[in-house]
Amino acid sequence: MQQPKSPANSPGVSLLILVGFVLLCSFVLQLIILFGYTAIFENIGLLLRSGPDALSLGQGSTGLMYTMLATSSVSTFLLPPIILQYIERKSNIQYLPMSSVTPTLSYGLAVLFLVAFSPILGLFGEWNRHLQLPESWHVVESWMRTKEDEMALLTENLVMNSSLSGLALNLFVIAVLPAIAEEFFFRGALQNILGRWISNKHVVIWTTAIIFSAIHVQFFGFFPRMLLGAIFGYMLVLTNNIWIPILAHFVNNASVVLVAFYYTTKGYSYQQLMTDDPYHISLYFVSLIASVVVGWYFYRQSSKLKSELWNQAG
């Protein structure tokens, strides 16, 4: 006999549980890794005095850099939604929906949409990088530029690698882990919780996308990352399968890793990698049209599948 479902926690309680485990898992796991690493390889006092610069010390701390980044993904974004789903497993809530009826075509359309939309996304990125705040916000803008430079240095140390082992490690730490962990957290858990608070699904998707972009603390890449977050959110709503946005997220991150690997093997610098040559305006027009066509077809296919499932259930 099937056991009756338990009443779900309120969205506020679910959010408190999620945030609580973010703080707990992040503190405990990263502390364990830091002390374990320093006990074996380094002087603990030296590393602690390095403070936030510990991850960007250079080649001497490459192992720590990768380990801490991987641990951060797991502890901050992967474990909390899994634990939340386990705690609320007796309710009807599915934080990590994995529909078994999603057609293979949906995966292909998700990737195809990203490819079609990439020139427009790059245009938004170029505009965002040159965004200037009013003069009265000079102090804030200076702080934002400083944080951006710190993240750029960390990214350069990671992606500008010409070895195959480095490429494999980058694909795992920068593409595989963040794609799974961040989609579990933002689209799986957070978007679900906000959806129980707010009835308008578009507001929920864009609010989650704004939080997703802001938490990366890269202000001069805020708008393209927010757009990506919204795209991932709509993909989940349309398919009810968390693996669709995970795949799209992976493809986006992996493309950066692969391009950086190619640039490094050709002797190009990180600055050259980040300097985009503008496309001809006709390509942006084609990109827009292709994105609309693929997006509309994706929507129609998903709506058709939902209608068929509804009729079968009825």
- In 3D, which of 228, 184, 234 has the Cα closest to residue 205? 234
Question: Which whole number is the average pLDDT over 4-33?
Answer: 88
Residue reference for tokens 């001497």: 60
Model confidence at 158: pLDDT above 90 = no
Euclidean distance between CA atoms 254 and 268, whole angstroms: 19
| Choice among 2-16, 41-55, 85-99 with the minimum mean pLDDT | 41-55
Model confidence at 105: pLDDT above 80 = yes
CB-CB contact of 5 with 92 (8 Å): yes
Q: For position 311, what pLDDT does the model report?
A: 63
Euclidean distance between CA atoms 107 and 295, whole angstroms: 13
Euclidean distance between CA atoms 183 and 233, whole angstroms: 9
How distant is the alpha carbon of residue 298 from its chain centre?
21
CB-CB contact of 96 with 271 (8 Å): no
Model confidence at 230: pLDDT above 80 = yes
| Choice among 3-12, 109-118, 201-210, 234-243 with the minimum mean pLDDT | 3-12
pTM for the whole structure: 0.88
pLDDT 10s digits, 163-187: 898 899 999 999 999 999 999 999 9
Question: Which whole number is the average pLDDT over 22-29?
Answer: 94
| Mean pLDDT, all residues of the chain | 86
Percent of the chain with pLDDT over 90: 54
- In 3D, which of 58, 76, 67, 74 has the Cα closest to residue 38? 67
52 — pLDDT class (breaks 50, 70, 90): very low
CB-CB contact of 299 with 200 (8 Å): no
pLDDT 10s digits, 257-296: 999 999 898 888 777 777 766 777 888 999 999 999 999 9
